Amino acid sequence: MNNHGIQDDRNDQNSGSSLYVPSADAMYRAALTFCLDDADAMMYALLKGAGDAATVWHLLRESHPKNPSSQCAAALGKLDLAFTQGLVRWGRKPQASVMKTFHTALAGWHNRMQDMPSDDPVRIADWFTVDGTQWLIGPDSPYWPGQLEDLALKSDWAPPLCLWGKGDPQALTSCPKPVGIVGSRDVTEYGRYVAHTLAEQAAALGHTVVSGGAMGTDAAAHWGALNAFHGRRSHTVGRTVAVFAGGLNHMGPTRNRSLFERIETQSGALISELCPNTIPEARRFLLRNRIIAALSSTVVVAQARLRSGALNTAGWAYELMREVYAAPGDINQPANAGCNRIISENRAALLCAATDVESICHEAHHPSTEHASHPETTAPQPTLRQVHAEPSSRHARKPGSPSAASPDLRTVTATSADGPKSIHLNALPEPQRVLASLIKECHKRHLIATPDALLKMARQQTPNEISDIGTVLELVGAMELSGIIRRQADEVVFSTIVD
């Protein structure tokens, strides 16, 4: 076992390079992640009902349409039962409309399974870890940050199924209450000073600094945490963690490459919930923000415009009941408008000084090398070479992860299972009525109703109702679970008659 507590093998025919071998549960979770377009509430409920990722994977494989109908029918019945049990355990009701949406999602998972080089995840560890250049952990790992589960417990959104990473995974559990520092990319010198100074002082006190690896505020925060090593003993300085919105072989921007290298070499971590080769898209940055918020105990917005993605992170943190602070700024400068607004709306406390870290953080400490989220885990997990392809008692029995765009299944209204149901626009809640009108307008103009297209049209027609992509995704998710719409690739179409 290497000094990260991760199993590794030595390839005698390869210059002795280390190949990280993730646990069996992590590999199955990676395979399930590959099947998802993004994190998925349906998959979370299914995992809660099935008990482990290996069971889910084998049922998906057995239920694939390419198999004999008798085999498919038996596996589909087990999937339905597991999904229903998972809904109940999650506090949701297994209504007919939800089951219909689950079956639609299931068809998409089956389609994506075919793109994997093998339907047996235990045989393609090197493919999922890019020949051992990335580590892969799941909830069975001693370095899994347990606070991610708050996404399911304190909100109706989802923790990731697993995490890919580079650097030191111990950074994820080295601090019990990390500090998230976020802000605009086009930051001013004032915002850069706030982020850099706050991060440097927090790291000097042993706290982990979390941000998004982007230009501007994120980079200032990461560099500040790294600068805390100057003149100090490394074992006393907090780490920094960068969370990315795509696969780790698509880390960007390229101007920050030296920053990413420094984070790796100075015991920090670069992480993503997405498979290697996943392209970072606009919607994925917003979903990435939920991980920054969940990892953090305190979130500070150093500087933000009114439409900055940093306000999305602050919103996640507020919903997760984290402590949120914002740096006030000149009211005549647009760069400060976002921070000033969330302070005025009491969604963030006023940050009085960038140098007063003690007032917003817990007590100073040395970074912990203990297994914070799983102190009872002492024995190493079995490697994939030691595990059979079929589910066994050795697999971790920890629930999986819900979905990023996961609407509240408790509020889903039942629809007829016999066929399309006619719904009047006036019968829908106001936000859903607005989105339905925008979908109809896209179709009228012969446009593909993608979330980005809907947002563009909303900004033209109803800017006060729908202002950001996060709102669009939330409404799409709620209407999909209600059986009103469905997704075809990235297009949103009606699954019921809306007039």
The arithmetic mean of pLDDT across residues 166-175, rounded, is 96
**Are the C-beta atoms of 207 and 239 separated by less than 8 Å?**
no
Element (H, E) at 184: none
**pLDDT value for 489:** 55
Residue 392 gets which letter from DSSP? Answer: -
Which one is predicted more confidently, 314 or 433?
314
**Taken in order 275, 276, 281, 282, is the CA torsion positive or negative?**
positive
> Which of 97-101, 209-213, 447-451 ranks highest by mean pLDDT?
209-213
Nearest to 470 by CA among 316, 359, 303, 351: 316
Q: Per-residue pLDDT for 230 more than 80?
A: yes
**pLDDT value for 445:** 80
Nearest to 474 by CA among 415, 434, 422, 444: 434
**pLDDT value for 302:** 97
pLDDT tens by residue, 321-370: 999 999 999 999 999 999 999 999 999 999 999 998 999 999 999 998 76
Q: Per-residue pLDDT for 433 more than 50?
A: yes
pLDDT-derived band at 309, boundaries 50, 70, 90: very high
Q: Is 455 exposed, middle or buried (0-12, 13-18, 19+ CB in 10 A)?
A: buried
> Which of 190-199, 277-286, 439-448 ranks highest by mean pLDDT?
190-199
Measured distance CA(340)–CA(266) in Å, rounded: 35
**pLDDT value for 450:** 81
Nearest to 31 by CA among 116, 134, 141, 144: 116
User: In 3-state terms, what secondary structure has residue 323?
Assistant: strand
Inter-helix orientation angle 53-62/96-113, to 10°:
80
Which one is predicted more confidently, 242 or 469?
242
**Are the C-beta atoms of 225 and 242 separated by less than 8 Å?**
no
**pLDDT value for 282:** 85
**pLDDT value for 270:** 98
Q: Per-residue pLDDT for 171 more than 60?
A: yes
φ, ψ of residue 241 to 5 degrees: the values are -125, 125
**Are the C-beta atoms of 247 and 128 separated by less than 8 Å?**
no
Q: Per-residue pLDDT for 140 more than 60?
A: yes
- Chain mean position to CA 355: 31
Which one is predicted more confidently, 487 or 108?
108
pLDDT tens by residue, 260-285: 999 999 999 999 999 999 989 888 99
**pLDDT value for 102:** 92
**Are the C-beta atoms of 317 and 180 separated by less than 8 Å?**
yes
Residue in the structure block whose two tokens are 């885990």? 377
The arithmetic mean of pLDDT across residues 124-131, rounded, is 91
User: In 3-state terms, what secondary structure has residue 10?
Assistant: strand
pLDDT tens by residue, 21-32: 789 999 999 999
The residue ranges of DSSP E strands in 168-277, in sequence order, are 179-183, 209-211, 240-243, 269-272
The arithmetic mean of pLDDT across residues 159-164, rounded, is 94
**pLDDT value for 499:** 61
How far from 221 is each of 226, 228, 432, CA to CA, in Å?
Answer: 9, 11, 38
Which one is predicted more confidently, 474 or 333?
333
Q: Per-residue pLDDT for 258 more than 60?
A: yes
Q: What is the DSSP string of 454-467?
A: HHHHHHHH-TTT--
How far from 389 is each of 68, 131, 383, CA to CA, in Å?
Answer: 21, 21, 12
Which of 7-21, 53-67, 91-105, 450-464 shows the lowest per-residue confidence on average (mean pLDDT)? 7-21
Strand partners, 270: 166, 242
Measured distance CA(173)–CA(203) in Å, rounded: 14
Which of 199-213, 286-300, 396-410 shows the lowest per-residue confidence on average (mean pLDDT)? 396-410
Q: Which alpha helices (DSSP H) does 114-256 contain, by range? A: 125-128, 150-153, 189-204, 217-227
Which of 20-24, 129-133, 309-313, 385-389 shows the lowest per-residue confidence on average (mean pLDDT)? 385-389
Measured distance CA(150)–CA(393) in Å, rounded: 27
Which one is predicted more confidently, 19 or 187?
187
**pLDDT value for 401:** 34
The arithmetic mean of pLDDT across residues 284-305, rounded, is 96
Contacts of 362 (CB under 8 A, 6+ apart): 176, 177, 207, 297
**pLDDT value for 391:** 36
**pLDDT value for 423:** 67
User: In 3-state terms, what secondary structure has residue 255?
Assistant: helix
pLDDT-derived band at 388, boundaries 50, 70, 90: very low
How confident is the prediction for the chain on average, in pLDDT? 82
Q: Per-residue pLDDT for 231 more than 60?
A: yes
Q: Per-residue pLDDT for 12 more than 50?
A: no
The arithmetic mean of pLDDT across residues 451-480, rounded, is 78
Measured distance CA(248)–CA(410) in Å, rounded: 35
φ, ψ of residue 331 to 5 degrees: the values are -70, -10
Measured distance CA(474)–CA(228) in Å, rounded: 39
Q: What is the DSSP string of 61-84?
A: HHT-TTS-HHHHHHHHHHHHHHHH
pLDDT-derived band at 385, boundaries 50, 70, 90: very low
Element (H, E) at 286: helix 282-295
Q: Per-residue pLDDT for 111 more than 70?
A: yes
**Are the C-beta atoms of 311 and 286 separated by less than 8 Å?**
no
**pLDDT value for 494:** 81
